[in-house]
Amino acid sequence: MNSAATSTAPERFWSHVVQGPAPTDCWIWTGAIGDDGYGRFWVPQPDGGQRAMRPQRWLYEHLTGVALLPDVLLLHACDVPLCVHVDVDEARSHLATGSHRGNMLERVQRGRHRNGSTAIRTAGLARAERVRLSRELREAFRDHGWDPAAIAAHKTGIQPDTPTLW
Ligand SMILES: [Zn+2]
């Protein structure tokens, strides 16, 4: 691909991201999505090939200079698999490293207290459902740019145009 050869990895990365206006907002990946519902960012390798990475992992390594070992997970505190909002300040970052379930559950509890809602719901969703929700969110952002209503709908799994029944 010519575009990959003429633009840098950071340029390509940010061309696929829509950032919310507030410092605490999500940054939504609008590029490729894998069959697990998470983004895919293709990164050129020294041997001339390309490797697909989750974009949030690429940004974490890009910003921190720390290479993530394969068994180190980046966990979403915001419950949005397409979010790539990494900050070196963990209090602002939507993603945190973790390697065990306890870490995630602890963040879920904190999220519930903070938001008064059931955060990290997508972590328990079936794979196919997560892919569907991620694609919906990506299409909303591709069509409208920053779209808080689409994120809210994504978190509840309810489409914005679905009538409320209660
Ligand atoms: Zn987020």
Give per-10-residue mean pLDDT for the chain (166 aa). Answer: 68 97 95 96 92 96 91 87 92 80 56 46 70 95 94 76 50
**Ligand 1 centroid distance, CA of 47 (Å):** 33
Kindly state whether residue 76 falls inside one of the protein's structural domains: yes
Q: 21 CA distance to ligand 1 centroid (A)?
A: 13
In this predicted structure, what is the pLDDT of residue 60? Answer: 95
Domain contains 165: no
pLDDT for the residue numbered 89? 84
State both tokens at 10. Answer: 């950071």
Containing domain of residue 81, as a range?
2-19+26-155
pLDDT of residue 42: 95
- Domain tally for the chain? 1
Whether residue 166 is contained in a domain is answered as no
Q: How many A from CA of 158 to the centre of ligand 1?
A: 18
Neighbours of 59 (CB within 10 A): 24
Is 163 part of a structural domain of the chain? no
What is residue 17's three-state secondary structure? strand
Whether residue 36 lies inside any domain: the answer is: yes
162 in a structural domain: no
3 alpha carbon – ligand 1 mean position (Å): 28
Return the pLDDT at 149: 92
- Domain-located, residue 115: yes
Is residue 160 situated within a structural domain? no
* Conformational region of residue 70, where left means phi above 0, alpha means psi within -120 to 50, and beta covers everything else: alpha
Instruction: Write down the pLDDT at residue 110.
Output: 59
Residue 115: what pLDDT? 44
Half-sphere exposure of 71 (CA within 13 A, CB side): 3
